């Protein structure tokens, strides 16, 4: 999969959860969606992009990966 497309998809998921007033719940929602619907290869690529400091990830995705990345990997 194209890393740019995965980042775009992750950012779209975050846009959905951005209206959640509780930032902890929003972060968990993003991580839950990725864990449930993305295959392991997609999650691995996203985690690699985040650890490489990809600047196109929105802050909510970065937070979700930071807080929940261990269960996504």
Q: What pLDDT sits at residue 54?
A: 86
Residue 47 has pLDDT above 90, yes or no: yes
Q: What is the pLDDT of residues 9-46, one digit of tens each?
A: 999 999 999 999 999 999 999 999 999 999 999 999 99
**Stated pTM of the model:** 0.93
Q: What is the mean pLDDT of residues 49-71?
A: 94
pLDDT at 34: 98
How many other C-beta atoms are found inside a 10 Å radius of the C-beta of residue 56? 12
Q: Assign 58 to helix, strand or coil.
A: coil
Q: Which domain holds residue 27?
A: 3-72
Domain count for the chain, please give it. 1
Contact 68, 28 (CB under 8 A): yes
Round to whole Å and give the CA distance between 46 and 44.
Answer: 5
Q: Is the dihedral of CA 14, 67, 72, 44 positive or negative?
A: positive
For 35, the token pair is 């864990």
User: Is pLDDT of 73 > 90?
Assistant: no
């Amino acid at each position: 999969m194209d890393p740019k497309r995965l980042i775009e998809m992750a950012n779209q998921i975050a846009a959905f959860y951005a209206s959640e007033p509780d930032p902890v719940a929003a972060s968990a929602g993003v991580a839950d969606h990725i864990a449930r619907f993305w295959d392991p290869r997609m999650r691995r690529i996203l985690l690699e992009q985040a650890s490489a400091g990809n600047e196109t990830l929105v802050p909510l995705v970065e937070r979700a990966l930071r807080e929940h990345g261990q269960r996504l990997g």
